[in-house]
Amino acid sequence: MYLTRFRVNTARLEGRRLLGSPHRVHGAVNAAFPTSPSRDGAGPRVLWRVDRNGISETLLYIVSPGRPDLTHLVEQAGWPASDEPGWTTFAYTDFLSALRPGDTWGFRLTANPVHNIRPAHVKEGERTKRAAHRTPRHQMRWLLDRQEKAGFEIVRKPEERRLLPQGDEHELVVRDQTPLQFRRPRARAPEKTGRSGDVQITKVTFDGRLRVTDPEVFRRTLTHGLGKAKAYGCGLMTLAPVRGKEEA
């Protein structure tokens, strides 16, 4: 497994066009591999995420089973004449293998928190509709409901650090929420397209602190992704060392 970081040159028109469409980023990421990795769920898949860390820094992260070649992205949306390397790839397998129960990490996750609803006209037993969670409270609950099966637990705050009587029990914040709507290429849209080729998702970025409970399951979460819309920049969780003394 590999973890790759690429800095997008947002001063270039092509860089801004790339970031304006999750489908373009998806295509550019897939083009980094001579053979497209399997998406059947049997093995690790390619995950990606865009982090906007201010006006001057936008980073594309990729987790993948094989080492990517991002030469085309450097030429399209990087600094092709620079002496600095266009991207950095880290060997990820050793890091994943070293995860142990009780390890505590800071994390960032961009996900697509959704739930199934039954419109008034839909009868019991008929197909429900997938809808996005809209409020930070429901978005955080979506993640908390999945933590156990994903091999981790989000660290709880001491009572004296809680600012609210409810909804502030965990080291977890919604950092960003971005509703997106774009159209699939016609060749990939279902038959009788009409507006059925439109994709609507809500990307939510979570920052927080977690504790590993089941390393094997957690490794799968980090390499297979969490939630829906993985092809469009959702599902990738990355970890960072915790700074300062942990408060459990």
Q: What are the structural domains of the chain?
A: 2-96 (3.30.70), 101-240 (3.30.70.1210)
Residue reference for tokens 């990517």: 68
Instruction: Tell me, rounded to whole angstroms, the distance of Cα 75 from its chain centroid.
Output: 25
Question: How far apart are the C-alpha atoms of 84 and 111, rounded to whole Å?
Answer: 31
pTM for this model (two decimals): 0.85
Question: How far apart are the C-alpha atoms of 10 and 16, rounded to whole Å?
Answer: 5
pLDDT tens for residues 111-151? Answer: 999 877 655 555 666 666 767 777 888 899 999 999 999 99
Q: What is the pLDDT of residue 190?
A: 44
CB-based burial label for 33 (10 Å; 0-12, 13-18, 19+): middle
Q: What is the mean pLDDT of each run of 10 residues along the chain (248 residues)?
A: 96 93 92 81 87 88 96 95 92 96 97 74 63 83 95 89 74 85 58 54 94 98 94 95 62
Residue reference for tokens 């996750």: 109
3-state secondary structure of 55: coil
Q: What is the pLDDT of residue 207?
A: 96
